Amino acid sequence: MGILLFITVLLIAACGLIYELIAGTLASYLLGDSVLQFSTIIGCYLFAMGIGSALSRYVNRGLAYRFVWIELMLGLIGGFSSALLFLAFAYTQGFQLLMYALVVVIGVLVGLEIPLLMRMVHESYHFRDVVAHVLTFDYLGALGASLLFPILLVPRLGLVRSAMLFGLINVGVALWSTFLFARQLPSARVLRGLCLAVICGLGIGLAQAKRITAAAEDNIYADEVILARDTRYQHIVLTRFKDDIRLFLNSHLQFSSRDEYRYHEALIHPGMAAVPAPRRALVLGGGDGLAVREILKYPQVESVTLVDLDPEMTRLFSTHPMLTSLNGKSFLSPKVHIINTDAFPWVDSNTDSFDFVVIDFPDPTSYSLGKLYTTAFYKAVARHLSAQGLMVVQSTSPMFARDSYWCIVETLKQAGLKTYPYHVYVPSFGEWGFVIASSHAYSPPTLLPTGLRFVSAAGLPAMFQFPPDMSPMPMPPNRLNDQVLVRAYDQDWKDISH
């Protein structure tokens, strides 16, 4: 019995430590400030253990019976603690309350374990040996757990499954104790039945753990996530609510299917319809194929070249039925040539000329994206414009990021281009801005493709009017060696969110 008993001590010590580490890690992940989280959790946990130890003196009879019950409850509560905390964070306001409650309950139970166990065996051994052996194995268990946790458990199993695995160990100890202390137990059969039930519960939990984490993550997006993919370059998420499909790249909304036609009609037609014979078009960015869909409305177009960094993005929008119905299978047109590469080096090395160039990149949220909004980049793009050619640049919101918008306009001017800024209202984005730029004068077209839902010849001139709250701001240009745009953009959005 000796060695089995001490292995029991080792296992329960490991379980106790793991639950505490899980609570600390989860709180650090989700709330930040790991020093505060670990300190308060360790404090609460130790204090609760003290309460457990103090309470152990009131347990007078049926020590083995109560020990088995404690292990069962620890297995159940500890095993599901991580899953409960994840779900609580995603769906409720009470994450911290639940976390400290769980820490206290687990702490009390763990605090009860060792004193009870020592009393159960004190008759078979000298007191001196009991203390020495129990504490030795308590040490070893804790050491094992503290090493396993960061090296194996967190990277391999994750927090939800680690908790469940150790819950299973606690219940295992309960089950095994019913045999170990069979003589001291009046109703071993009932207890064994309960153990098996909890083992089943945890087993199912272990198998479904991925679903639990996914459910928790889903709730961070408002709608149902229909597709989530990590590519080499970005995190792509598609959501759907009724008929509204939304695309997020790195958590930034790219379009909502309910109003994207406003954005894409406004991006393409004011410029493209003004080109007398647009035969060759170039799209930089725009891997969703929606800009290409609009470009293909011009029958004169002979070829559309699309340069987008992420092959996974263009593949999705070429093959996923829900997405190809959105972009009208634009990527399947024989006129369209997709090139998956970095835009700036491509623009530098390619020598083709185009009648219409669309620059549709994500907003300048980083210095690396900011390079695609510099005088150097626009000069390089301008070399691709044919004699009648125009380019259009998606230029963030002149309302929410007014400095940024006018900085982009100034950058195009400093690149030696004439600029024609305009803006439209897109409900899911708010007020949105674009700039047409070219080396020759531009005037809004009077004839547009048929079947447009938003842009009309009559409505065009108004788009080029800026009311006082969006009117031009004096801004320096954005240069590779002085990326004022990235800092302005950061400041613009900070001003709004505060």
Q: Provide CB contacts within 8 A for 491, sequence distance 6+.
A: 403
Using CB under 8 A as the binding rule, whether residue 403 contacts other proteins is answered as no
Site for other proteins in 290-319 (CB under 8 A): 309
Using CB under 8 A as the binding rule, whether residue 29 contacts other proteins is answered as no
Using CB under 8 A as the binding rule, whether residue 395 contacts other proteins is answered as no
Using CB under 8 A as the binding rule, whether residue 385 contacts other proteins is answered as no
Give me the catalytic one of 308, 360, 363, 492: 360
* Nearest one of 239, 236, 204 to 218, comparing CA atoms: 239
Burial class (CB in 10 A: 0-12, 13-18, 19+), 247: buried
Using CB under 8 A as the binding rule, whether residue 366 contacts other proteins is answered as yes
Using the minimum distance from each CB to other proteins, give the nearer residue, 101 or 151. 151
Using the minimum distance from each CB to other proteins, give the nearer residue, 361 or 422. 361
Shortest spacing between CB 238 and other proteins, in angstroms: 22
Q: What is the rounded distance in angstroms from the CA atom of residue 262 to the CA atom of residue 426?
A: 6
Q: What is the rounded distance in angstroms from the CA atom of residue 221 to the CA atom of residue 11?
A: 40
**Interface characters, 439-478, with other proteins (x: CB under 8 A):** ----------------------------------------
**In this chain, which of 56, 162, 327, 483 binds other proteins, going by CB under 8 A?**
483
Using CB under 8 A as the binding rule, whether residue 139 contacts other proteins is answered as yes
Using CB under 8 A as the binding rule, whether residue 78 contacts other proteins is answered as no
Answer yes or no: 495 catalytic: no
Q: What is the rounded distance in angstroms from the CA atom of residue 340 to the CA atom of residue 306?
A: 8
Site for other proteins in 167-226 (CB under 8 A): none
Site residue total, other proteins (CB under 8 A): 53
Using the minimum distance from each CB to other proteins, give the nearer residue, 120 or 426. 120
CB atoms closer than 10 angstroms to residue 59: 16
Using the minimum distance from each CB to other proteins, give the nearer residue, 186 or 416. 416
- Coil, strand or helix at 165: helix
Q: What is the rounded distance in angstroms from the CA atom of residue 368 to the CA atom of residue 196?
A: 56
**How distant, in Å, are the alpha carbons of 103, 105, 149, 157 from that of 205?**
20, 21, 20, 13
Stretch that binds other proteins, among 69-77, 173-181, 273-281, 340-348 (CB under 8 A): 340-348
Using the minimum distance from each CB to other proteins, give the nearer residue, 285 or 398. 285
- Indicate the length of the chain as a whole number: 498
Using CB under 8 A as the binding rule, whether residue 393 contacts other proteins is answered as no
**In this chain, which of 31, 42, 59, 228 binds other proteins, going by CB under 8 A?**
42
Q: What is the rounded distance in angstroms from the CA atom of residue 83 to the CA atom of residue 263?
A: 41
Residue 161, phi then psi, degrees to nearest 5: -75, -30
Q: Do 195 and 114 contact (CB within 8 A), yes or no?
A: no
Stretch that binds other proteins, among 266-274, 311-319, 363-371, 446-454 (CB under 8 A): 363-371
**In this chain, which of 8, 25, 40, 177 binds other proteins, going by CB under 8 A?**
25
Q: What is the rounded distance in angstroms from the CA atom of residue 281 to the CA atom of residue 388?
A: 12
Shortest spacing between CB 162 and other proteins, in angstroms: 13
User: What is the side-by-side strand order in the sheet with 244-249?
Assistant: 224-230, 235-241, 244-249, 252-256
Q: What is the rounded distance in angstroms from the CA atom of residue 404 to the CA atom of residue 414?
A: 15
Q: What is the rounded distance in angstroms from the CA atom of residue 281 to the CA atom of residue 447?
A: 19
Half-sphere exposure of 305 (CA within 13 A, CB side): 19
The helices-and-strands tally (H runs, E runs) of the chain is: 18, 11
Q: Do 247 and 236 contact (CB within 8 A), yes or no?
A: yes
**Interface characters, 100-129, with other proteins (x: CB under 8 A):** --------------x---------------
Stretch that binds other proteins, among 220-228, 318-326, 330-338, 481-489 (CB under 8 A): 481-489
Using CB under 8 A as the binding rule, whether residue 48 contacts other proteins is answered as no
Q: What is the contact surface with other proteins in residues (CB under 8 A)?
A: 13, 17, 20-21, 24-25, 34, 38, 42, 45-46, 49-50, 53, 114, 135, 138-139, 142-143, 145-147, 149-151, 154-155, 232-233, 309, 342-345, 348, 366-372, 374-377, 479-483, 486
Catalytic positions, please? 360
